[in-house]
Each structure stands twice: as C-alpha cells, then as structure tokens.
C-alpha cells in the first residue's frame, strides 16, 4: 500500500508546476499538540534533506518542509515501553501539497474510500488522509475529523511559543508532558522514572557533520532527577568502556547534570547510525504515508 501511495504521488507531482508552502507562518502547526501524556515529534524535513544522514527519499518527503506527529496511548496502560500498535497517531506534513491534486490521487488508490460527512478526506480503515488546507497533508490512524478540529478548526496553543521555537530549530525534537508510558526511545529508563516526569524535551541537532543529543527532563521530585542523571551517566560510562574509549569524568559531569528537579543533557554526541535510526522511526510514525 505504501508503494502504491508513493508511485501515485510521483506520477501526479510530475505533471504539476504549482508550488505550495505551509500555511503556518506566525506559529507552528505542532503547537496545538501536546496534551498531557501525548508524545509530540517534529522533524525539520528541509534540514533532513540537506543533512549528511542518508535517509531514503520519497515524493512526499521531498515535498515536505516539516513533519509533525502526535502519539496518544489508545488506552490507559502501565505497559512500558508501549508498542506502536497501542498508540493512536495523527499529524501533518507541511509543504507542497495542493487541495485538489493530492486528494484526487488518494481517491484512486486501491482500498481508499471517501470518509463520511462533508469534509473531504479518504481512509483505508487503518489511516485517514486529506489536504484540509493548501500546504498541509493531514493524516490520522484514529478520528481524522477530531485531528482536524483539534489542530486546525478549533486549535488552541498547548506548546508555548518559546518552547516551540526551541523545538523547531533542531533536526528533530520530541516533547511530552506528564507521560503515563512511552515508546522505546533507546534508553533503559525505569517505568517509575517515566511516570515521575513533569515534562521532557529531547532534541537532535547537527553541526559540521556531527550530531548531538540534548535534553531537559523535569520531574515532580528532585530524587527522580538524581536517579535519572545517575542512570544516563552510567549508560554513557558503560558504552565508553565497551568501545575501549577514555573516560573524562569532568566532561561527563558537565554533559549530564542536575539542576534542582531537572536533569540536563547537553551536546551528547551521537553516531550517524543512531541518528538515522531515530529519523527512520520518526518517519514511520506517519502510518506508512511517508
């Protein structure tokens, strides 16, 4: 199904000369995401395409300026990490998407049919997709109309502008407030630490071909911030020792520190392979559309 979507988009985009851009100029689309327990990811698609990380290109990614996805646990669950099948996803690709051409293409894909009601969108039972505004490809694995209402028709700003600016500048950002569970982010974080978080912001940036992870994780209790800091430091130490590297405890204490009830990670270098894995997983969260 994913291949059919991409082939159809490729054929259609080859015959159009129109160029569209995101309709969000004074604020960010993803600022209407971020309810408590909702995991928000936003990816700077333009920066990714110019990055030294090799991500397989496709026609939708090529037309995107930014891709944002929100994930909500489909039910109250203490399972951790919670598999992707137990999350409801919605989000949008912002960029060169027209309100006439793209829906027309989707309407002719096998398995897709028009959704009920006056709103023009299409669904195959697993994912719903449409272009409610020029420059915005909206998708949802849950209720498409609810996602449209929340992020467009009756949007409220949940992520303050200062935080949104901080999320928009890196290659990729992940934000969550008061999580009940989490996907597997590649860290062995105890469940009790996850549920003790007030909020977490994780960013990946690129500078001169090198990649760095930074994070601010705020907890309800200072002892949880201490536990998390110790956990991350131990993980880094173990990795350095496995790789036969030299430990610099002064640098480590500066890179992973605690400030009251917050754990701060600053400019922890990542390999291209790790970054590529994060980016591919983020793109996969579109339900196969990207």
pLDDT digits (tens, 9 = 90+) for 109-121: 888 999 999 999 9
pLDDT of residue 56: 76
Instruction: Find the mean pLDDT for residues 20-37.
Output: 95
Q: What is the number of other CB atoms lying within 10 angstroms of the CB of residue 290?
A: 24
Residue with tokens 């956990």: 231
- What is the spatial distance between Cα 71 and Cα 51, in angstroms, rounded to a whole number? 26
Checking if the pLDDT of 142 tops 50, the result is yes
Under the banding of pLDDT at 50, 70 and 90, the label for residue 149 is very high
Taking Cα atoms as reference points, which of 155, 45, 53 lies closest to residue 93?
45
Exposed / middle / buried, residue 118 (Cβ in 10 Å: 0-12, 13-18, 19+): exposed
pLDDT digits (tens, 9 = 90+) for 34-88: 999 999 999 999 999 899 887 777 778 888 999 999 999 877 667 888 888 888 9
Asked if 13 contacts 136 with a C-beta cutoff of 8 angstroms, the reply is no
pLDDT of residue 6: 47
Rounded to an integer, what is the distance from CA 177 to the centroid of its chain?
A: 14
Domain ranges of the chain: 2-284
Q: What is the number of other CB atoms lying within 10 angstroms of the CB of residue 107?
A: 13
Most confident of 4-18, 64-78, 273-287: 64-78
pLDDT of residue 74: 79
Separation in Å, CA 71 to CA 42, 44, 58, 118, 273:
12, 18, 23, 26, 24
For residue 155, give the 3-state DSSP assignment.
Answer: coil
pLDDT digits (tens, 9 = 90+) for 205-230: 999 989 999 999 999 999 999 999 99
Checking if the pLDDT of 185 tops 90, the result is no
């Amino acid at each position: 199904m994913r291949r059919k979507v991409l082939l159809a988009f490729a054929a259609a985009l080859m015959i159009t000369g129109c160029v569209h851009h995101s309709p969000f100029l004074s604020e960010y689309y993803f600022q209407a995401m971020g309810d408590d327990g909702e995991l928000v990811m936003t990816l700077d698609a333009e920066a990714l395409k110019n990055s030294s990380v090799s991500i397989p290109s496709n026609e939708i990614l090529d037309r995107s300026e930014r891709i944002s996805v929100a994930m909500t646990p489909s039910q109250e669950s203490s399972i951790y990490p919670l598999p992707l099948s137990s999350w409801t996803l919605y989000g949008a690709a912002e960029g060169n998407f027209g309100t006439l051409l793209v829906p027309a293409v989707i309407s002719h894909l096998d398995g897709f049919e028009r959704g009920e009601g006056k709103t023009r969108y299409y669904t195959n039972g697993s994912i719903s997709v449409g272009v409610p505004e020029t420059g915005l490809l909206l998708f949802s694995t849950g209720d498409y109309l609810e996602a449209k209402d929340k992020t467009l028709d009756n949007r409220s700003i949940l992520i303050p502008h200062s935080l949104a600016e901080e999320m928009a500048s890196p290659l990729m950002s992940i934000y969550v407030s008061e999580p009940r569970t989490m996907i597997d982010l590649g860290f062995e974080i105890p469940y009790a630490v996850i549920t003790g978080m007030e909020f977490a912001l994780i960013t990946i940036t690129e500078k001169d071909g090198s990649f760095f992870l930074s994070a601010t994780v705020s907890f309800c209790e200072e002892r949880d911030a201490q536990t998390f800091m110790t956990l991350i430091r131990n993980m880094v130490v173990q990795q350095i020792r496995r790789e036969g590297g030299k430990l610099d405890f002064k640098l480590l204490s500066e890179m992973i520190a605690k400030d009251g009830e917050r754990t701060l990670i600053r400019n922890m270098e990542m390999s291209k392979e790790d970054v590529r894995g994060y980016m591919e997983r983020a793109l996969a969260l579109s339900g196969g559309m990207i």
